[in-house]
Chain A
Amino acid sequence: MKWINFAACVSISAMPVMADEIWISNEKDNTLSVIDIETLEVSRTIPTGERPRGITFSKDYSVLYICASDSDSVQVMDPETGEILHDLPSGEDPEQFVLHPNDRHLYIANEDDAITTVVDTETRTVISQIDVGIEPEGMAVSPDGGIAITTSETTNMAHWIDTETQKVFANTLVDSRPRHAEFVKDGGELWVSSEIGGTITIFDTESQAEKGKIRFEVQGVHPDRVQPVGFELSEKDKVAFVALGPSNHVAAVNIDTYEVEDYILVGRRVWHMDFNSDKSMLFTTNGVSGDVTVIDVASREPVKTIKVGRFPWGAAFRPTN
């Protein structure tokens, strides 16, 4: 009996108990911080190319794509080992990207070049480069894969790209300095945040017509400093959590009524975010304070602050079982 028990023990401890993870890109440290969701601590710090910003996993989480902006490449990393497997051609200064639902095409915003680059991750070739406005940043693809969006910060537009032809078929104005775009309601709406405008503009996807605007008001903070940037959707797309930059708050927006229900205090200059697997916890990157705030989604309370590298930017969830 005894030795059987012992053997069982050994086999358990030999198999590391893996918890899910949140991966954070540290823009000014050229590293990724990996947060263990069980312990809420940084378990690994992994070197990357220069100025890592956007990060996203492949659908099966077997590789991580990293926009290494100042290295002018998208790096492909094995998340198990932290090794860079290869670089993808990306165009100059890739800032942010989105993976097409086909798990194969990356749509990359080239910030310094006013271009969106489409890369095939399998053949590692550029399929297309599309002229967009100045300083492209926000990237989104509709759930059916038919439309890709690039928003341009200085041109103040959302550019609508047909993913069949890789051509722009519409351009819609938004408020100043658009930063992030997401399709909402199964692709029925497109939401675009405007940092300097202080709004989220909502478009009807079918007609590209503007449907509404969400405005924010944080008590005790001048409206100029309430600057919506990244946002993510809760379980069943009920609530959008919106990072409000230097106001140091995240807003919880009811997706049906467009009303702001709550403001949650987080670290300084909150930027992007991601959830854990059941979306009960939200992890926000706080650029200036160099940390990640963990928000309990049910109570909408911040529960912990985790120190990461300098200027944390992107966040991506990775399940481990």
Chain B
Amino acid sequence: MLKLNRLIAFIAVIPCVAHAETEVPVTYLKQEVPLPPVLSNLDPIPEDNGLAGARLGLEDNLTTAKFLGHNYTLSFSIVPEGGDWLAAAKEALDSSQFIILDAPPSAQLAVADLPAAENAILFNASEYDMSLRNKECRSNLFHAIPSYSMRADALMQFLAYRRWSNLALITGNRHKDIAFAESLKRSATKFGLELENEKPWLSDADMRRNAAREVPLLTQDLNDHDILLISDELHDFGRYIAYNTWAPRPIGGSEGLQPVAWSRVVEQWGAVQLQNRFEELAARDMTSRDFAAWVAIRSLGEAVTRTGSNDPQMLREYMLSDNFELSGFKGRPLTFRHWNGQLRQPIPLVTERSVVAMAPLEGFLHQNTELDTLGIDEPESECKQFERR
């Protein structure tokens, strides 16, 4: 295509913001975690999962920054298994008060509790975990990625809307499977659906050979249900369930109809442009982790753009104020919950081929914003530490 002379000098006449360069250094801090083996390696997790989203967020911020005399930098600090996580965190905090965390909940809390992080802005960009947003919340820890309960509520809204009110559930035996299953059960109650049928997954079957024999047996004695839910957050066995169930039923949860932060099939609301930019940068599809890292850096960028400041305290206040709103290609402005720092966001319900629905679904009302029908709402929040006195 045309790549003509782009050497056009810019005359930076900025009527409102006239100051010297505002520097915003960001660190992407990752704790490498060994992944347990899964039955199939058909869809390997990209090595730069999350990191590539952060890189795109940086590029997007820089384009705006050049018109404003701001500057962003992004460094990556990746701690191998068994490495000194806290030392890496301290080093990162020395050079930057803005950190994207890609690490298990306990590791995130360890960073948040460091004295050097007291006034920093940390973004959880990897964990759906509920305690991080509830009892274990921290005032300096924002959540760019949705929680288990936001995802579960999104799915349940759809099932309620379809009147698929009898549910069954198969739960894997890993910690994350059990945590997501908990949220699914709580959410079923919240939306008045029946979920009394739960079975654990059999961990010793080789599904690549035996799915057609094992899965009908496993699902045969479930009570009648409209949809079979699967909690298999590491994508171990879930892919072998569809079409092998005893009763012909659709599946949802970690497989089938999935509530996600992002997927390649999201294309409305200008999302195609974001997908195109991402693909050009990373040569693969954008994942939920990538989206979370992207949206974290963009949130920071939006706050810096509007305030003209790089002071973490001021940016935190702005991000939690009514003035903050981020365009995140999901059809509505994205904002942060002031009670636990969770980014409010619509949740697409997707198959591998298309977006089936976008939650919150029509008809699920809320006195403040329909987005708060997803996840922990203010009255039920157990987070006491997020709001500073």
Q: Which residues does A use to contact B, with CB under 8 Å?
A: 72, 89-92, 111-112, 114-115, 117, 126, 128-131, 133-135, 153-157, 159, 166-173, 175-177, 195-198, 207-209, 222, 224-225, 246
Contacts and interface: CB of A to CB of B under 8 A. Distances in A.
A125 to B, nearest CB: 10
A154 B270 CA distance: 10
A66 B353 CA distance: 31
B8 A133 contact: no
A169 B13 contact: yes
Contacts of B60: 134, 154
B15 A156 contact: no
A91 B333 CA distance: 30
19 contacts: A90-B2, A115-B6, A126-B2, A133-B63, A134-B64, A134-B277, A154-B60, A155-B67, A167-B8, A167-B9, A170-B15, A173-B305, A176-B326, A196-B325, A197-B325, A197-B333, A198-B333, A224-B332, A224-B370
Nearest to B15: A208
Contact of B270 (A117, A129, A135, A246): A135
Contacts of B2: 89-92, 117, 126, 129
Contact of B5 (A129, A157, A176, A198): A129
A224 B327 contact: no
Contacts of A171: 12-14, 67-68
B4 interface: yes
Q: For the complex of A and B, list the 3 residue pairs with the smallest distance between their C-beta atoms, beginning with the closest.
A: A171-B67, A196-B327, A176-B327
A224 B369 contact: yes
Contacts of B15: 170, 172, 207-209
B273 interface: yes
Given A129-B5, A153-B327, A196-B327, 9 more contacts: A153-B273, A167-B11, A173-B306, A176-B325, A177-B327, A208-B15, A222-B369, A222-B370, A246-B331
Contacts of B68: 171
B66 to A, nearest CB: 8
B276 interface: yes
Contacts of B4: 126, 128-129
Contacts of B64: 133-134, 154-157
B6 A129 contact: yes
Main secondary structure of the interface of B (DSSP, over half): loop
A225 B332 contact: yes
Contacts of A195: 327
Interface string B325-345: 111000111000000000000
Interface in B63-102: 63-64, 67-68
A117 B12 CA distance: 20
Nearest to B325: A176
Given A111-B273, A173-B305, A196-B332, A131 B327 contact: no
Interface string B353-373: 000000000000000011100
A91 B1 contact: yes
B187 to A, nearest CB: 22
B16 interface: yes
A176 B63 contact: no
Interface in B8-45: 8-16
Interface in B293-317: 305-306
Interface of B: 1-2, 4-6, 8-16, 60, 63-64, 67-68, 270, 273, 276-277, 305-306, 325-327, 331-333, 369-371
Contacts of B5: 128-129
A48 B53 CA distance: 35
A29 to B, nearest CB: 16
Nearest to A91: B2
Nearest to B326: A176
Contacts of A117: 2
A223 to B, nearest CB: 9
Contact of B63 (A114, A197, A209, A224): A114
Contact of A168 (B10, B327, B369): B10
A37 B16 CA distance: 46
Nearest to B330: A196
A91 B5 CA distance: 12
B305 A156 contact: yes
Nearest to A155: B64
Contacts of A224: 332-333, 369-371
Contacts of B6: 115, 129, 131
A59 B372 CA distance: 50
A176 B12 CA distance: 21
A195 B330 CA distance: 12
A133 B1 CA distance: 20
Contacts of A207: 15
Contacts of A135: 270, 273
B333 A176 contact: yes
A112 B14 contact: no
B287 to A, nearest CB: 20
Contacts of B67: 133, 155, 157, 159, 171
B8 A128 contact: yes
B371 to A, nearest CB: 8
Contact of B277 (A112, A126, A166): A112
Nearest to A176: B327
Nearest to B371: A224
A222 B60 CA distance: 29
B11 to A, nearest CB: 6
B143 to A, nearest CB: 20
Contacts of A198: 333
